[in-house]
Amino acid sequence: MIDILTVVFQQELYYLKIQARSIELYIDSDKIGKIFVVVNDESSICDLVDKTWWGKNQNKVVVIDRKDLGIPHTLPGWESQQYHKLACAAQAESSWSMCLDAKTWFVQTVEFDKIFDSQGRVCFSPFPTIPVFKPAETFVENYFNIDSKQVIGPGGVPFFFKTEEMQLLCDYLKNQGTNLLDFFEQNALYPTHLTEFMFYSGWIKYRHGTLYTQYSEKQFYQITNIASFQLDEFELLFKRMQQSHNLTASIHRAIYPMLSSQDLNRWVDFLLERKLIDSRETAIRELNT
């Protein structure tokens, strides 16, 4: 059994609604513990999260006001979202939590024997640190006194946190005279640019000497995200989304206004085919904000 956690703000509520349906359609409800939705926005936005979006899973949904996890006041939205992922993962109730962005939607049935191997490891293989995250890599290596040249996959979300490890990491920070909120707030911006997944990956390497006690070197599913700078790769990435082993698909909201009407309609057709939306007109209007 796993918990699911998503951090959302007001402009992403329609995306969250689609995600909720994708969870109901493509994940066995018996495999889901709690579904945590952290609202990284004003408290009033919590009231706009409708638990009925999750259908048969609605009784599993826990809406969390960001103030209940501590607000990193000096961090912009993207960095504060990273903090809330870590903080919520430390409060998960199942052994593992699966972290999503609101724009992350399942497009096929999740087979858990392809997510976890026979040793209970997550089947998303680590990969080398990409250049933009090298400052964070150097910081993590120095902080934990380790050699840490890899990040736990899949290179974004879905990302799987082990709850016990997150709780131990929080305890470790307390023993160092700090806490998760203060530590992340101090190190998420220039020049360190620490990220949630880099930090957690370094912790696993520090604790176990390797990532492979918790995460497998083998991976079945691929995930496809179209980032805000990947408009020119839309055709290639859209084809990837339709492959038989592609588990999730997402498009950054900044991409929608730049899509041609043809590409936007192809994407909406894909969502209709996967039963993630009911109305073409509503999707085109709400996605392209």
Distance from C-alpha of 154 to C-alpha of 159, rounded to nearest angstrom: 7
Widest CA span in the chain: 56
pLDDT of residue 288: 82
pLDDT of residue 49: 98
| CA-to-CA separations, 55 to 17, 88, 165, in angstroms, rounded | 10, 23, 31
At position 42, the amino acid (one-letter code) is E
Q: What is the DSSP letter of 130?
A: P
pLDDT of residue 19: 98
Residue 252: CA count within 13 A, CB half-sphere: 16
Q: What does 240-277 look like in DSSP terms, one character per residue?
A: HHTSTTEEEEEE-TTTGGGS-HHHHHHHHHHHHHTTS-
CB-based contact 80:40 (threshold 8 Å): yes
Backbone region of residue 205 per phi and psi (left: phi > 0; alpha: psi in -120 to 50; beta: other values):
alpha
Instruction: Give the CATH class of 2-220.
Output: alpha beta
Q: Which residue has the tokens 């020119």?
A: 232
Q: Tens place of pLDDT for every residue, the chain, 289 residues?
A: 999 999 999 999 999 999 999 999 999 999 999 999 999 999 999 999 999 999 999 999 999 999 999 999 999 999 999 999 999 999 999 999 999 999 999 999 999 999 999 999 999 999 999 999 999 999 999 999 999 999 999 999 999 999 999 999 999 999 999 999 999 999 999 999 999 999 999 999 999 999 999 999 999 999 999 999 999 999 999 999 999 999 999 999 999 999 999 999 999 999 999 999 999 999 999 998 6
Count of H-run helices and E-run strands, the chain: 9, 10
CB-based contact 223:248 (threshold 8 Å): yes
Say how many C-beta atoms besides its own lie within 10 A of residue 192's C-beta: 16
Q: Is 0.95 topped by the overall pTM?
A: yes
CB-based contact 252:103 (threshold 8 Å): yes
Could you give the 3-state DSSP secondary structure of residue 176? coil
Listed by start position, the domains of the chain span 2-220, 222-289
pLDDT of residue 289: 67
Tokens describing residue 17: 């609604």
